[in-house]
Structure 1
Amino acid sequence: MTDGEAYTLADEIVARARIHAREVVDEYGLAVDLSALEWTVSARARRRAGACRWQPDREVATIVLARRAYERYDWPAFAGIVRHELVHAWEFQQFGESGHGSRFRERAAALEAPRYCESFAEPRYVLRCRAADCDWHATRHRASKPVKAPNQYRCGACGGVYEVEHAASGRTWTTASGYGGAKAALGDDW
């Protein structure tokens, strides 16, 4: 930073993540080339606390961390997210690919990194099976096709019909026209 620039929350997140990354490399011996890592913060991310993107032409991994997750989690939990993304960076640097397979799981366990993280944002929509003997439900953060036209899809457990609830208002619908009606009725509260 130059004189007069304000220190932002994104700067804090990146600084703490870089420090933690150095500690992980030193403590656990993770063979990640830290000079081939870039860091950024997403202010928009709602579901993923982190991501690792590989740029094979440059052989650079970019770790993206979610500001909302940083604000919601305590540091030990967020540090686990950093370690999770470092495992992806290691896989990209060593093998040119990454996933959540056995190699990833083994390395993540050695680093005490979570395989998945808890949601840090409340879902916008809840899908629930309408069958009396089924308790299937799913959550969504975006208005996906199953949210907009639930009558074209079926329950993930029993194959029955389901309804969608707009979590903030409690409004429900089972058809595409119901979705449109709920959206119109809620207006700015959508």
Structure 2
Amino acid sequence: MTDGDDDSGAELTIDDEIVARARIHAREVLREHDLEIDRASLEWSVTTRARRRAGACRWDADREVATIVLTRQAYERYEWSAFAGVVRHELVHAWEFQRFGESGHGPRFRERAARLEAPRHCPTFSEPRYVLRCLSSGCDWRARRHRASKPVKVPDQYRCGSCGGSYEVEHAESGRTWTTASGFGGARAALGETW
């Protein structure tokens, strides 16, 4: 057997490593904290499509199976201790789904996450592409966006999430700002391929 090969001769991938480490960590956490999760009804996968979420837990109610989806880019950017926190966070979601058929970040989640020393919210692993910032004096509301959603494209049709005032959108990489749909189009055209 050569380095990177398993007994069957197939080469192991980074995704195999992520799932293996996460499963080992999960087994230790479940044993140490007596968290009742049916491991036979727990699946694991890795994605490269996520832009900001380090992990997610999906519930298939028909099959009664929770799938923990971990993001390769987060695994590559985080230290293991931070990524292990993501695994514990998603384990709490899996526990809630299996036990209650639903999951969120409410009091039940917070209490269980604290027991497991899991973060209530996982940190994003990438910088936002856009920053929304309130224009009202005295309001420090900000929102981050990774995609050009409607509030990014047509900010004059939306309001500040805190005070209800107008806001501007900043293209984080260039520093260009706009407050209207035409401003969005102008910024996009001016940036061209660097958009």
TM-score tier (shorter): over 0.9
Tell me the TM-score normalized by structure 1.
0.93
1:15 aligns with 2:20: yes
1:131 Cα deviation after fit:
2.8
Identify if the C-alpha distance between structure 1 residues 189 and 2 changes in structure 2 by more than 3 Å, giving closer, same or farther: farther
In structure 2, the partner of 1:137 is: 142
1:122 aligns with 2:127: yes
In structure 2, the partner of 1:106 is: 111
Number of residue-to-residue matches in the alignment: 190
Q: Which amino acid aligns with 2:194?
A: D
Distance 1:68 1:61 in 2: 22
| Higher mean C-alpha deviation, range 162-171 or range 97-106 | 97-106
Distance 2:112 2:138 in 1: 41
1:88 aligns with 2:93: yes
1:108 Cα deviation after fit:
1.0
In structure 1, the partner of 2:64 is: 59
1:21-40 equivalences in 2 (<5 Å): 21-40=26-45
Distance 1:130 1:154 in 2: 10
Structure 1 unaligned blocks of 5 or more: none
Distance 1:154 1:22 in 2: 45
In structure 1, the partner of 2:3 is: none
Identify if the C-alpha distance between structure 1 residues 137 and 101 changes in structure 2 by more than 3 Å, giving closer, same or farther: closer
1:3 Cα deviation after fit:
4.6
Tell me the TM-score normalized by structure 2.
0.91
Q: CA-to-partner distance for each residue in 1:47-94, whole Å, 9 max, x for gaps?
A: 211111111211111100111211221111111110111111111112
1:128-167 equivalences in 2 (<5 Å): 128-167=133-172
* 2:89–2:122 Cα contact (<8 Å) kept: no
Q: CA-to-partner distance for each residue in 1:11-46, whole Å, 9 max, x for gaps?
A: 111010000011011111111111211111110112
Q: Which amino acid aligns with 2:30?
A: V
Q: Which amino acid aligns with 1:176?
A: A
